[in-house]
Amino acid sequence: MGSSRYVALLRGINVGGRNKISMPDLRAVLEDAGFGNVSTYIQSGNVAFESDGARASLESDIEALLVRLLESPPVVVVRSHRQLRGVVEDAPGEFAERHTEHHRDVIFVKAPLTVERAMEVVQLRDGVDDAWPGPGVVYFTRVIAEKARSRMSRIVGTPEYRLMTIRNWATTTRMLTLLDEMR
């Protein structure tokens, strides 16, 4: 069996001067652990890689590798190439259409948290925010002109937030492109 392609999304690194790790160091840690074709995108912990390891243990394996390097325990959400393709291709039409006057985010949910529970936690302000459930994610939009009124930031204060990581739509689609382009 050959290697499979994955994306690892790390939550809370290089934010506000905390949990600092350079992308070259992050790549080196994963390469030294045997992951292949490791590449990163921007400084917020987006990693494309290949592994022939068990999908079920990748999140905990990567968290264990990083726990000694960071100030606080990392949260790592892993999606296979197929899963990430589903997130992009299965985006609700209304979400996809909102590309000019809305900021679009994807909230990636980590087990045991469910999308159903995440949808209950997400607070919406009428006329500003909208959210839709998806495959292991919640799609979230907010009107750019009303961004300060959005309730998106309230999710950070919930206990469930520790099992989520948020990426904007551009980063989400870029990570799929990185996986698609792996040789």
Q: Do domains 4-81 and 84-169 have the same CATH topology?
A: yes
Mean pLDDT of 23-34: 92
Highest mean pLDDT among 71-80, 153-162, 167-176: 167-176
pLDDT over threshold 70, residue 14: no
pLDDT over threshold 60, residue 1: no
Q: Are 136 and 87 in contact (CB under 8 A)?
A: yes
The CA distance from 141 to 152, in Å, is 9
End-to-end CA distance of the chain: 17
Domain 84-169 has CATH 3.30.70.1260: yes
CATH number of 4-81: 3.30.70.1280
**44 vs 168, residue with greater confidence:** 168
pLDDT band at 15 (very low <50, low <70, confident <90, very high): low
Q: Are 50 and 182 in contact (CB under 8 A)?
A: yes
In this prediction the pTM is 0.93
pLDDT at 150: 94
For the chain, give every domain's residue range.
4-81, 84-169
pLDDT band at 54 (very low <50, low <70, confident <90, very high): confident
pLDDT at 20: 79
Torsion of CA 15, 16, 22, 23, to 10 degrees: 20
Mean pLDDT of 25-36: 94
Q: Are 30 and 62 in contact (CB under 8 A)?
A: yes
3 state SS of 162: helix
**126 vs 14, residue with greater confidence:** 126
pLDDT at 74: 82
pLDDT band at 176 (very low <50, low <70, confident <90, very high): very high
